[in-house]
Amino acid sequence: MSSQNNTLAAGSSGAIQTNNLQEERTTNGDISANNNEIPIIDLANPNSSLLVEQLYQACSTWGFFQLINHGISAHLLSSFQNAMGNFFALPYDTKVKLKRNAKNARGYFDDELTKRKRDWKEALDVGVPGSRDWSQSDFDDDNACLDGYNQFPSADECPDFRDVVIEYFDECSRLSNRLASLMTVALSGRRNEEELFLERMKEEHTSYLRMNYYPPSDLNKSSDDAENLHNNSFSNKNADTGTLGVSPHRDAGFLTILLQDDDCHSLQVARFEDEDHIGDDDRWVTVHPVPGSLTINTGDMAMICSNGRFRAPLHRVLTDPAKKRYSAPFFYNPGYRELISPLVCCCRQENENNSNKKDNVHESSSKKNMNHDLQPLTFHPCLWGYFRALRFAGDLTDLGVEIQTSHFKVGSESSHIEKQRRFMEVVDFEEPFNVEKYRHILESQD
């Protein structure tokens, strides 16, 4: 894994950096788009209005950006990457003791389904404990929640692993709180509604950190030391033609913070909006990580909150025939009981006139960009606990269809609105989710 360098800063010219070129701001603050690279945003930009504008443009166009000067130290990034590599180098028999199951969404796995296809990866999921207190034993009853219990290797098996993971998790939580605040400011200058929502997110978020390892897909071409490359149940033979590390998907939560290797470029972002279309290869853009940066993308819940103004983009991970790859997405998710609805500031009201429309948008140097015509209410309320349960169940087993935000669009004939109501009547968010217990509600009839 490549070492990280967190000393990047925007140039004094005020240009927005990209991997191969710079995007120059015009005199009115607009950003001229580069169709071949995702934007790079400097979180230390002293011009807060410009920073908010850049976030708005990135979230509403690409749905992806690279973040520099994010505040997480290079030392911690390096320590976390080393810990992640040490875990995946453990014998398969050691890792599989931590395997997640139908009654616990957290733990190790190497058999996940994305869009009903098996991924070419192994992973470990760790989430905020039910007690919100990392000092308690992982299997303490107080730590039970819908996602289950955390499962870590022992200190003898993987020294310092738990401590380093928790430290990195907490840093990602703090960074997510700040980014979510900036994203909501980008949508509106009215703070009351947003502040209540953000405070609930900060205090009740149910985020989790996923550590991924993608083995080389061709045993005959691997350029890495063969030892410990294939301590799993699937990569001791070549991948079939067309196999992906992760199939095209959208992230379910509010936002994702991704740490990835600098030297293996496998993440791709779609430049099309089709709901289920996989797309031609030339419509996918490869992300080339800037050393020291973190890759940020908006998720389904941010798209609902923004009433569709923010984009939750399709993305996928390619296999590499010769190189191994590590990555770690931190999924910043609402509380299980949170009913996610479009913020009032993002919806056109029936009796709204031009004067009060002006109050509903963030005033900045880029007002002409951010003051889009507001749309009528686009989405029904979506219970995060229900959406999360369906996504996990679909990762673990084939329920017939993967839940999407399109199932909550106003005017859709999806059965999920009724299923969600039934789920809310019987669910206990303080006990681990059990696929079989809720299967009669969750299986698709769409």
pLDDT in tens, 122-139: 999 999 999 999 999 999
pLDDT in tens, 142-181: 999 999 999 999 999 999 999 999 999 999 999 999 999 9
pLDDT confidence of residue 368: 38
Name the residue among 131, 168, 166 with its Cα closest to residue 257. 168
Q: What average pLDDT does the segment 424-443 reach?
A: 90
Q: Is 277 a residue whose pLDDT tops 60?
A: no
Q: What average pLDDT does the segment 12-41 reach?
A: 48
Residue 396 host element (H or E): helix 384-396
pLDDT confidence of residue 353: 44
pLDDT confidence of residue 446: 56
- Which residues partner with 122 through β-bridges? 213
Q: Is 49 a residue whose pLDDT tops 90?
A: yes
pLDDT confidence of residue 356: 41
Name the more confident of 281 and 58: 58
pLDDT in tens, 328-345: 999 999 999 999 999 988
φ/ψ region of 436 (left if φ > 0, alpha if ψ in -120 to 50, else beta) reads: alpha
pLDDT confidence of residue 410: 95
Angle at 116 between CA 169 and CA 394, to 5 degrees: 55
Q: How confident is the model at residue 190 (pLDDT cuts 50, 70, 90)?
A: low
| Global pTM value | 0.87
Q: What residues contact residue 315 under an 8 Å CB cut-off, 6+ apart? A: 64, 248, 249, 250, 267, 268, 269, 270, 297
Q: How confident is the model at residue 222 (pLDDT cuts 50, 70, 90)?
A: confident
Name the residue among 340, 329, 335, 345 with its Cα closest to residue 255. 329
Question: In angstroms, rounded to a whole number, what is the distance separating the alpha carbons of residues 249 and 252?
Answer: 9
- Beta strands (DSSP E) in 24-154 are 40-42, 64-68, 107-109, 113-114, 117-118, 122-127
CB distance 230 to 366 below 8 Å: no
Q: Is 13 a residue whose pLDDT tops 60?
A: no
Residue 203 host element (H or E): helix 192-204
Q: What percent of the chain has pLDDT over 70?
A: 80
- Which residues partner with 165 through β-bridges? none
pLDDT confidence of residue 35: 61
End-to-end CA distance of the chain: 43
Question: In angstroms, rounded to a whole number, what is the distance separating the alpha carbons of residues 392 and 70?
Answer: 30
Q: Is 23 a residue whose pLDDT tops 60?
A: no
Q: How confident is the model at residue 213 (pLDDT cuts 50, 70, 90)?
A: very high
Q: What percent of the chain has pLDDT over 90?
A: 69
pLDDT in tens, 405-433: 999 999 998 999 999 999 999 999 999 99
Q: What average pLDDT does the segment 262-282 reach?
A: 75
- The three-class DSSP label of residue 222 is coil
Q: Is 39 a residue whose pLDDT tops 90?
A: yes
Name the residue among 333, 107, 301, 57 with its Cα closest to residue 205. 333
Q: What average pLDDT does the segment 9-29 reach?
A: 33
Cα dihedral value 342, 348, 350, 356, nearest 10 = 120
Q: How confident is the model at residue 31 (pLDDT cuts 50, 70, 90)?
A: very low
